[in-house]
Amino acid sequence: MPRFVRYLTPLVAFLALAGLLFKGLSLDPRKVPSPLIDKPAPAFSLTRLKEPEVVLSNADFKGKVTLFNVWATWCVACRSEHPVLMQLARTGKVAIYGLNYKDEREAAKQWLVRFGDPYVANAFDADGRVGIDWGVYGTPETFIVDQQGVIRHKHIGPLTQEIVRDEILPLVQQLEATSG
């Protein structure tokens, strides 16, 4: 074995390990990739938050790209995310539906009156069963569902203007383009 190989091997090994650990620093262990990506959205059928007599189901998502946002009034980060959703709703670029997760109906309705309502409609998931089916483990979470009802993207944590601009909207446009 040539001498330089002998001396370089530990250096290369060290750099490889350092690179691996450095990458680990920038990963958020709380962001667990969802196994539901590219799978049909889990079926659900719940009452609507504002109209308890009307059902909202994933059939309502068919035929358009949908942003499905999981939120609750007890969720602090949802409060910081809310203005971003309001602004996105104003652009009208994507239909925003909500899953009101383990919340109280009155509290959630008041929240929407007070801070504005970016949602086309909200499904009211009082016991969190639908949340479990969607693999929700922390609010807020946001799913992008395509026209065929397939989950294309999941964002864990609050949406920001940057994330909407750089991740959400490009994906929505791309999905709308593919279906023609």
Choices 35-43, 59-67, 87-95, 170-178 (CB under 8 A): range interacting with other proteins: 35-43
Q: Which of 51, 76, 148, 179 binds other proteins (CB under 8 A)?
A: 76
**CB nearer to other proteins: pick between 138 and 170:** 138
CA–CA separation, 113 vs 86, rounded Å?
A: 13
Q: How near is the Cβ of 78 to other proteins at its closest, in Å?
A: 10
Question: CA–CA distance from 33 to each of 25, 42, 101, 156 (Å)?
Answer: 17, 17, 20, 9
Answer yes or no whether residue 149 interacts with other proteins by CB under 8 A. no
Find where tokens 């109209």 sit: 51
Candidates 128, 167, 171, 176; binder of other proteins (CB under 8 A) is: 128
CB-based burial label for 136 (10 Å; 0-12, 13-18, 19+): buried
Assign 79 to helix, strand or coil: helix
Residues within the interface to other proteins (CB under 8 A): 28-30, 32-36, 42, 76-77, 102, 127-129, 131-135, 137-138, 157-158
